[in-house]
């Protein structure tokens, strides 16, 4: 985004690179807010349904409130416009679209069904919002993958949804974002003579042709780095990859073709550029749940931009979904990343704005360039504190009782919400005699919709300071 379907592509197409420098190491520390507070509620209500809480529960109110927003379903919202444009290239009846799947899923759906090992960092409470030990807010749309394959309601499908991950605070990260994945399957039992390769090439001949300039450095596969699976023939893998690439190249033609026209209309590009074919390139990649695997890049406004990840679905996943007779491809893309590029939106918080000056700029099924309506001044505040001494190890993915940079992010979000633009660690220090560790974070407060007064900012920042003391027992400096 930030598959096997989307979980395959956890860091592709979503802005997931960390921007906190230096990175705060994990410090063993009991988070009082979630683990030891005697006033902790016994249930949490999400989308009108109550769930029991336990020591894993870490869904804060500001996240619970996001579940009802469903930005990908608001017709004039950039996220929804991007989704519908991509979705238009995967029409029924071959493809079925799933856009209303519920965000509360089991640990089995989110991790176990996809083969995540027990010590995978994605399972930790520092990365994932746990409703309770058995239930999470989905971290990727692939939480629904096995169930969707198993339904066999169509030969292909797309899934679009809001997903949730504890993350940094800056202009390209938000704890809720949106993913879209797609898949296309063929059954050896239903194609003529069981010849999947022949059936796929026949389909490719009927697909729309385009005038993209395509550079393919990946080829069909590499026997060592990007191999064909043992369950597939070379001919099958080559045909599936060709169908996948043509399908996604057609997505680029539709979506980026419209975006380029919008940039020209806004005076951000030369009219002569519309006469030049768009450029894309395929790059060999590795994902744990596809092989061969590829990344697609688009040449956009002078740079090669990583768009999405994709590949031939690992047969093991299909077997686990009772679909071992099938073979096919899957892709995953982060909708925020694409929307920010297409609409020229500079701050991810804007997607969550309910200001009419933002929402009124967009029209369903049309890409238009965002026009900034204000730029309010920032206000920086620092907070420094000593962490309590502890000898508990945070290694091995065990995040219970561990202080993590994302805990700082949640404290700030709980207090300031979207009035926090950026949070960075600006200093780390370990006392040479006591061994105690000190951290200093700089919080940049800036509203998207109005000027914050100094008094307002001071009040928010003092609440952040006190929350750190109450939840984590830090000693303020």
What average pLDDT does this structure show over 295-305? 91
Q: 23 — alpha (psi -120 to 50), left (phi > 0) or beta? A: beta
pLDDT tens, position by position, 145-198: 999 999 999 999 999 999 999 999 999 999 999 999 999 999 999 999 999 999
| This prediction's pTM | 0.85
Sign of the torsion angle spanned by Cα atoms 91, 96, 102, 103: negative
pLDDT at residue number 220: 78
Beta bridge partners of 420: 445
Q: Which helix (H) or strand (E) holds 403?
A: strand 402-403
pLDDT at residue number 388: 85
Write the CA distances from 178 to 1, 72, 133, 246, 367, integer angstroms: 8, 7, 24, 24, 18
Torsion of CA 140, 143, 146, 151, to 10 degrees: -100
Residues of the chain above pLDDT 90, percent: 75
Contact 216, 276 (CB under 8 A): no
pLDDT at residue number 373: 84
Tokens of 22: 């230096």
- Checking if the pLDDT of 7 tops 50, the result is no
Please tell me the distance from the alpha carbon of residue 446 to that of residue 421, in angstroms, as a whole number: 6
| Per-position DSSP letters for 229-278, written without gaps between them | PTTS-HHHHHHHHHHHHHHHHHHHHHHHHHHHHHHHHTTSS-GGGGGSPP
pLDDT at residue number 289: 85
Average pLDDT value for the chain = 87
Residue 354's closest CA among 67, 74, 99, 164? 74
Question: Which residues make Cβ contacts (< 8 Å) with residue 362, sequence separation at least 6?
Answer: 76, 77, 78, 81, 343, 368
**Low-confidence winner among 13-17, 125-129, 334-338 (lowest mean pLDDT):** 13-17
Please tell me the distance from the alpha carbon of residue 108 to that of residue 125, in angstroms, as a whole number: 16
pLDDT at residue number 464: 96
pLDDT tens, position by position, 306-351: 999 999 999 999 999 999 999 999 999 999 999 999 999 999 999 9
Write the CA distances from 353 to 231, 347, 357, 378, integer angstroms: 48, 11, 9, 18
What average pLDDT does this structure show over 401-407? 78
Going by DSSP bridges, is the β-strand pair 475-476/43-46 parallel, antiparallel, or unpaired? unpaired
Please tell me the distance from the alpha carbon of residue 163 to that of residue 143, in angstroms, as a whole number: 10
pLDDT at residue number 270: 64
Going by DSSP bridges, is the β-strand pair 156-164/95-98 parallel, antiparallel, or unpaired? parallel
pLDDT at residue number 12: 38
What average pLDDT does this structure show over 80-99? 97
Domains of the chain and CATH, by start: 43-360 (3.30.930.10), 379-393+401-476 (3.30.70.380)
- Checking if the pLDDT of 258 tops 70, the result is yes
DSSP annotation of 376: P
Instruction: Report long-range pairs for 304-307 (Cβ below 8 Å, ≥24 apart).
Output: 305/341, 306/12, 306/13, 307/13, 307/252, 307/333, 307/338
pLDDT at residue number 68: 95
**Low-confidence winner among 47-56, 373-382, 464-473 (lowest mean pLDDT):** 373-382
DSSP annotation of 155: S
Count CB neighbours of 93 within 10 A: 8
- Checking if the pLDDT of 441 tops 80, the result is yes
């Amino acid at each position: 985004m930030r598959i096997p379907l989307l979980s395959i592509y956890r860091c592709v197409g979503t802005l997931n690179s960390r921007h906190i420098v230096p990175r705060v190491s994990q410090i063993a520390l009991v988070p009082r807010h979630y683990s030891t507070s005697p006033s902790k509620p016994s249930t949490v209500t999400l989308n009108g349904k109550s769930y029991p809480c336990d020591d894993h529960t870490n869904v804060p109110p500001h996240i619970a409130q996001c579940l009802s927003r469903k930005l990908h379903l608001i017709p004039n919202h950039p996220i929804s416009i991007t989704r519908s444009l991509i979705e238009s290239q995967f029409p029924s009846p071959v493809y079925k679209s799933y856009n209303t799947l519920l965000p509360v899923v089991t640990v089995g759906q989110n991790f176990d069904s996809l083969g995540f090992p027990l010590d995978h960092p994605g399972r930790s409470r520092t990365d994932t919002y746990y409703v309770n030990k058995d239930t999470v807010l989905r971290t990727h749309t692939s939480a629904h993958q096995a169930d969707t394959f198993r339904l066999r309601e169509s030969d292909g499908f797309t899934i679009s949804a809001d997903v949730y991950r504890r993350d940094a605070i800056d202009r390209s990260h938000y704890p809720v974002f949106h993913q879209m994945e797609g898949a296309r399957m063929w059954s050896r039992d239903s194609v003529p003579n069981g010849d999947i390769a022949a059936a796929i090439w026949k389909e490719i001949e009927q697909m729309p042709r385009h005038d993209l300039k395509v550079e393919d450095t990946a080829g069909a596969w590499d026997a060592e780095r990007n191999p064909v699976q043992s369950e597939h023939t070379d001919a099958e893998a080559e045909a599936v990859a060709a169908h996948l690439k043509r399908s996604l190249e057609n997505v680029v033609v539709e979506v980026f073709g419209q975006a380029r026209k919008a940039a020209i209309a806004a005076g951000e590009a030369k009219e002569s550029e519309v006469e030049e074919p768009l450029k894309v390139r395929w790059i060999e990649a590795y994902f744990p749940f596809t092989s061969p695997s590829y990344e697609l890049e688009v040449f956009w406004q002078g740079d090669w931009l990583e768009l999405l990840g994709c590949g031939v679905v690992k047969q093991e996943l299909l077997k686990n979904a009772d679909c071992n007779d099938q073979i096919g491809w899957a892709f995953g893309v982060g909708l925020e990343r694409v929307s920010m590029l297409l609409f020229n939106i500079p701050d991810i918080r804007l997607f969550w704005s309910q200001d009419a000056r933002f929402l009124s700029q967009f029209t369903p099924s049309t890409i238009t360039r965002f026009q900034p309506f204000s730029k309010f001044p920032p206000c920086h505040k620092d907070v420094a504190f000593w962490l309590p001494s502890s000898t508990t190890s945070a290694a091995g993915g065990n995040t219970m009782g561990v202080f993590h940079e994302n805990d700082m992010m949640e404290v700030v979000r709980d207090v300031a919400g979207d009035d926090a633009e950026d949070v960075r660690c600006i200093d780390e220090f370990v006392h040479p005699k006591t061994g105690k560790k000190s951290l200093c974070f700089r919080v940049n407060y800036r509203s998207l919709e109005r000027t914050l007064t100094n008094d307002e900012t001071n009040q928010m920042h003092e609440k952040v300071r006190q929350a750190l003391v109450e939840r984590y027992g830090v000693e303020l400096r």
